[in-house]
Amino acid sequence: MREAALVYVVDDDSSAREGVARLIRSAGLLTRTFASGEEFLAASRPKGPSCLVLDLNLPGINGLDLQDELGKSGSQLPIVFITGHGDIPMAVRAVRAGAANFLTKPFDAEDLLNVVRQSISYFLDDEIQSEQNMANMVGESPGLQRVSKAIRVVAPTDSTVLIEGETGTGKELVAHAIHDLSRRSQRSFVQVNCAAIPATLLESELFGHEKGSFTGAFAQKVGRFELAHQGTLFLDEIGELPLELQPKLLRALQEREFERLGGNRTIKVDVRIIAATNRDLGQMVAEGKFRSDLYYRLNVFPVSVPPLRERREDIPLLTRFFTQRYAGRLNRTIKHIPSATLEALSRHEWPGNVRELQNVIERAVILCEHETLSIHESWMPNRASEAIRSGSTLRTNLATHEREVIEAALRHSRGRVSGPLGAAVKLGLPRSTLESKMKSLGIDKDAFKARIALQSSGIGPRF
């Protein structure tokens, strides 16, 4: 069984330190508190999933100095900085140097718990990934070996990389692997999903804005380009970038300079660009939907990630990997995966690729009541042919899997979303993220609670 997560809290203000510790313990996590950086460095730290909540302004060794000391020792401990409004430039420097996140005082309690959970989740992922080659890219197929070779060739350079592949193939993992093997590996890896941010906000997200530059701009915002200075900026779903924003991105790529929205000061940055897309950008250029000059600027070193159906020999390895990951997160002991199960998984077409396989394994681990993993083939019908016949999209198929996993977790948690026994913890998601997904999928947690109540009274069906 994996050790319980431990959160270290370092703050010279005793009331603030104990208040943060109480809040973290209320979420079912263990804490250890320290009044100074020197006290923290002198203490022994057991191995296991952990996170450091650190006040930026400390007497003696301040937060940045403590971060530097940990980095020199090779520590991979995720750090969440707590900072005042006047310390934002220092906090940005900390994030560039590898901090997981920072919060500005006064902060919302749920925001702190969310970033702590995310940091611990990253620790667990890194712990598992450390046993794998190429940052979590599991497999031995020729297609994956070609990708691995391309990563090793391009990573030491500063060349722009364009990663192409279907949804769910692992393009983000390729981007992380390139960063981890580059000379910028000790600096920030900053990610922007161009499809997830409304077009009206994307310019501000990338380049930042000045106070008062538009309605609702109550404070200066530092953009992702600045945060990624001397590190790597990963532009995911670059094919969704609005045409009107493409010239400004082109200039930033060519000149490595830009102005914040509403500002006139030119900001210069040293950033390595990696972009990814599941669309045919060449075809989009021909159709006038993507600028040709931006396409050629991005397509310096293309890397094509094969779909899972073209590397079926990797499916058993991936299955064992995901089983280990989710069994660890859910404190389950799973010792056996039947060969018949692996054969059934290997026969499936996987239109959602590795992400679809991951969802199926997560659902199986949630529902597993013994030490043998069991998977129903009804969870993975031949959606490729069904989609052609019914006209349903890949997005619809993935949403169906996502719904099934979330509903299984809600049943297991008896309708609870938050708290140490809630569905969010079981799925390794922040509460706000899970609630957002439930809203988009039309999942009502109260319906699960009502079913539990009926079941307890002997009226409702068992499920």
Report yes or no on 461 lying in a domain. no
Are both 293 and 407 inside the same structural domain? no
Q: Does residue 254 surpass a pLDDT of 80?
A: yes
Mean pLDDT of 320-338: 88
Are both 318 and 378 inside the same structural domain? yes
Mean pLDDT of 411-421: 78
Of 448, 365, 356, give the one whose Cα is nearest residue 395: 356
Q: Of 95, 129, 163, which residue is a domain's last?
A: 129
Rounded percentage of the chain residues whose pLDDT exceeds 90: 38
Contact at 8 Å (CB) between 342 and 315?
yes
CATH number at residue 315: 1.10.8.60
Q: Of 306, 324, 341, which residue is a domain's last?
A: 306
Contact at 8 Å (CB) between 174 and 224?
no
The CB density around residue 277, as the number of other CB atoms within 10 Å, is 23
Report yes or no on 462 lying in a domain. no
What is the predicted pLDDT for the residue at 384? 42
Report yes or no on 36 lying in a domain. yes
Find the domain containing 230 and state its range: 142-306
Report yes or no on 137 lying in a domain. no
Are both 179 and 271 inside the same structural domain? yes
Report yes or no on 240 lying in a domain. yes
Q: How confident is the model at residue 124 (pLDDT cuts 50, 70, 90)?
A: low
Phi, psi of 79 (to 5 degrees): -120, 130
Are both 75 and 95 inside the same structural domain? yes
Task: Kindly provide the residue ranges of all beta strands, DSSP E only, lying in 106-200, ordered along the sequence.
Answer: 161-164, 189-193
Q: Does residue 269 surpass a pLDDT of 90?
A: yes
pLDDT in tens, 53-76: 988 888 888 888 888 888 777 677
Of the two residues 79 and 463, the one the predictor is more confident about is 79
Mean pLDDT of 345-373: 91
Are both 264 and 314 inside the same structural domain? no
Q: Which long-range contacts (CB under 8 A, 24 or more apart) does 454-458 make?
A: none
Mean pLDDT of 10-31: 89
Q: Which residues lie closer than 8 Å to 457 by C-beta, 6 or more apart?
A: none
Q: Does residue 134 surpass a pLDDT of 70?
A: no
Contact at 8 Å (CB) between 324 and 128?
yes
Are both 300 and 313 inside the same structural domain? no
Report yes or no on 463 lying in a domain. no
Determine the Cα–Cα distance for residues 267 and 258; give it in Å rounded to an integer: 5
Are both 52 and 164 inside the same structural domain? no
CATH number at residue 245: 3.40.50.300
Mean pLDDT of 130-158: 80
**Domain tally, the chain:** 3
Q: Does residue 141 surpass a pLDDT of 60?
A: yes
Q: Does residue 259 surpass a pLDDT of 80?
A: yes
Mean pLDDT of 438-463: 62
What is the predicted pLDDT for the residue at 2? 43
CATH number at residue 32: 3.40.50.2300
Q: Of 306, 333, 362, which residue is a domain's last?
A: 306
Of the two residues 347 and 219, the one the predictor is more confident about is 347
Q: Does residue 430 surpass a pLDDT of 90?
A: no
Instruction: Give 450's Cβ-side CA count (13 Å radius).
Output: 4
What is the predicted pLDDT for the residue at 408? 80
Are both 162 and 90 inside the same structural domain? no
Q: Does residue 154 surpass a pLDDT of 90?
A: yes
